[in-house]
Amino acid sequence: MKKIILIVLLLVPLAAAADTYQDAAGTSQMLADYIDNMWTFLFSDVPTVIDRFMTWLLYYWVKMKLFAYYYFVKSAYGIAGTILADMNVMSQIASSMTLLPQDVRQMLVETRLFDGVNLLIQAWATKFVMRLI
């Protein structure tokens, strides 16, 4: 069915409606239309194309920059995790925690303060590694 519609559209001539210019008035109207079309092209269409191209370029530049930041942070977090694993930060926090009285230690465990400190140290190490990258 699609092929039949395509063949019919190709074989049936469609009339094109165009302006007809006659005599000197037609010639001057043709020149005026030409200048108007050139004016529209130069001062409306070209700036629109440039604006759309710059928007497209900025969009993809920001997108590439965000992807690069994402992969840099991901790799920096991996490097910082390795550094923190080598330093045994959580085990040092746990060993320091045993020096506290029982009720203070229980309160700090319940409020998850040590996990928060661990996250802050991981964030600081990741930021440190990011500055190196």
DSSP 19-55: ----HHHHHHHHHHHHHHHHHHIIIIIHHHHHHHHHH
Q: How many domains does the chain divide into?
A: 1
Question: What's the pLDDT tens digit per position in 60-69?
Answer: 999 999 999 9
With respect to residue 123, please indicate whether it lies within any of the assigned structural domains: yes
With respect to residue 3, please indicate whether it lies within any of the assigned structural domains: no
With respect to residue 119, please indicate whether it lies within any of the assigned structural domains: yes
With respect to residue 10, please indicate whether it lies within any of the assigned structural domains: no
Quick one: average pLDDT of 92-105? 83
Structural tokens at position 129: 């590694």
Question: What's the pLDDT tens digit per position in 108-126?
Answer: 888 888 888 888 888 888 8
The pTM assigned to this predicted structure is 0.53
Q: What is the C-alpha to C-alpha distance for residues 89 and 45, in angstroms, rounded to an integer?
A: 62
Give me the phi and psi of 101, to 5 degrees please: -65, 155
Question: What's the pLDDT tens digit per position in 16-75?
Answer: 556 777 888 888 988 998 999 899 999 999 999 999 999 999 999 999 999 999 998 889
With respect to residue 46, please indicate whether it lies within any of the assigned structural domains: yes
With respect to residue 4, please indicate whether it lies within any of the assigned structural domains: no
- Domain of 83, in residue numbers: 28-132
Asked whether the predicted pLDDT for residue 83 surpasses 90, the reply is no
With respect to residue 48, please indicate whether it lies within any of the assigned structural domains: yes
With respect to residue 76, please indicate whether it lies within any of the assigned structural domains: yes
Q: What is the C-alpha to C-alpha distance for residues 118 and 88, in angstroms, rounded to an integer?
A: 11
